[in-house]
Amino acid sequence: MSSTHIEQFMSAKLAQALANNLFPELDSQLRAGRHIGVDDLDNHAFLMDFQDELEGFYARYNVELVRAPEGFFYLRPRSTTLIPRSVLSELEMLVGKVLCYLYLSPERLANQGIFSTAELYEELLSLADEAKLLKVVNNRSTGSDLDKQKLLEKTRGALNRLRRLGMITFVAADNSQFVIAESVFRFGADVRSGDDPREAQLRLIRDGEAQSLAEEEKHPRPEDQDDDTEESDNDNATDEAEDEE
């Protein structure tokens, strides 16, 4: 088939993007719900170069390639998406909100951006209702030490899931320390003009607002309702495989 015939259906620049060696793995990551930030130099530069072409490519699957105001990219499925989807758990959502709160904190600069799992867990307990947290893990929780241990394990599991989505990067061999990516702003509060972003995020955590992962859109389109908490089911398969390891 001649190049002229191909260009009747696909632009030369889109063909160049799809033929790039970066595309197969990057495409798989995006479909699995991963967020691509500026720290992922090659992939982010690739998406910047081919953003317009890839927006049209993914639209065929009824998903949007979104570049957030903070600069990171991700796929947002619509209700008619052809890509399987899954939903973050309540605890994963809450951990994401706390990560966003920590990202906005002065401690992030003081610690060179590094936090520990223990610090996150302590912040989670101090910002949220511990009794409600324990009920998330076990509806019949009595507040026992065993229940608290299970909550800690579930929190670590939530962190691992968010790592796979590109929200954090572990920096210690035992996964006890991590840095937070700007993509946690998908869990961020809708900050009004003049508001303190950290105070707004604190209200979000304590009031249980914004259950959707995509609350960055103040007025989502009707066809996108119920889409934004959902990530690809491929991530579930990845979770199971890694958990088995």
Q: How far apart are CA 144 and CA 182, in angstroms?
A: 36
pLDDT at position 102, please? Answer: 94
One fold for both 3-77 and 86-215? yes
Type of residue numbered 31:
R
CATH T-level topology, domain 3-77:
Arc Repressor Mutant, subunit A (1.10.10)
Looking at residue 223, its pLDDT comes to: 38
Contact call for residues 114 and 108 (beta carbons, < 8 A): no
Determine the pLDDT at residue 194.
Answer: 61
Q: For residues 123 and 55, what is the distance between their CA atoms, to the nearest angstrom?
A: 38
- Phi, psi for 226 (deg, rounded to 5): 70, 5
- Residue ranges of the domains in the chain? 3-77, 86-215
| pLDDT per residue rounded down to tens, the chain (245 residues) | 445 545 557 899 999 999 999 999 999 999 999 999 999 999 999 999 999 999 999 999 999 999 999 999 999 998 888 887 778 888 999 999 999 999 999 888 888 899 999 999 999 999 888 888 888 887 888 878 888 899 999 999 999 999 999 999 999 889 999 999 999 999 987 665 567 888 888 888 877 543 444 333 333 433 344 444 444 444 443 444 444 44
What is the CATH topology of the domain spanning 86-215?
Answer: Arc Repressor Mutant, subunit A (1.10.10)
Rounded to whole angstroms, how far apart are CA atoms 143 and 150?
11
Q: Report d(CA 140, CA 147) in Å as an integer.
A: 10
Look at the alpha carbons of 10, 73, 87, 160 in this order and tell me if their dihedral is positive or negative: positive
Say what the pTM is: 0.78
- Using the structure block, give the residue that is written with the tokens 């867990």: 121
